[in-house]
Amino acid sequence: MTEKTNPPPAATNAGPSTKRRLPLIGAIGLTVVAAAILVYELIAISGERAIAPVVATSDAGPAPVPLSSQPFSFLDKPVAVPELKFADGSEQLRTLADFKGRPVLLNIWATWCLPCRKEMPSLDRLQAKFDPAKFLVLTLSIDRAGIPAVKKFYADLGLKNLGIYVDQSSAALHQLGLIGIPGTLLINPDGMEIGRKLGPAEWDSPEIVALVREHFGLEESKASKGATP
């Protein structure tokens, strides 16, 4: 009869080599966890940057400029527009109420804003398509440098159909609740906002011209109908 032997009892105390390995394993584990957290945060930040506005330096300090154009957002019902005050090209004080009785496309912009600079010629062409007495493209600059800077910009780009309007205080940006420029409002003949858009656009594109005609019941001017696009 073979006598059974029991295995030796497990050691209650780890040897010196085991003690040295335990902190090392723990450190590696913490490093892996930290790396995973870092990767997750970088992905999250990257996603936020894709939709957040970038910051452009202006003569008035940092000012947000959208990374990309956003579609028009139309309201369920028209809302009142704050009383904006600004100067025209003759340095006369004007308000938005001066233009009641006709629909207005109000574009807030500045000469230092690159997307604004790019879209201005298309705004000029949009105005050329419609009688300004029936539909006004009102481009309101928030340049601290004032009317001279805007006049120079118009001359450099050969803009001929847009009026000059300047709000040197930049108050319009905050009064209208815009988070960046260019920002555009569609205003009905009663002076009420019906929709807005953040970011640049090709304003004389067939899609936007059709949108303007649809919402305001406008017809293009005879001169623009015969013109080559």
Per-residue pLDDT of the chain (229 residues; tens, 9 = 90+): 555 555 555 555 555 555 555 555 555 555 544 454 443 344 333 333 333 333 343 454 445 555 456 888 999 999 999 999 999 999 999 999 999 999 999 999 999 999 999 999 999 999 999 999 999 999 999 999 999 999 999 999 999 999 999 999 999 999 999 989 999 999 999 999 999 999 999 999 999 999 999 999 888 766 555 443 3
pLDDT at residue 222 in the model: 60
Residue written as tokens 């892996």?
A: 32
Cis peptide before 182 (omega within 30 of 0): yes
pLDDT at residue 70 in the model: 80
Positive or negative, the Cα torsion across 203, 178, 95, 155? Answer: negative
Find the angle CA(143)-CA(202)-CA(58) to the nearest 5 degrees: 20
- Nearest Cα to Cα of residue 138 among 97, 179, 175: 97
Residue pair 182/207 in contact (Cβ under 8 Å)? The answer is no
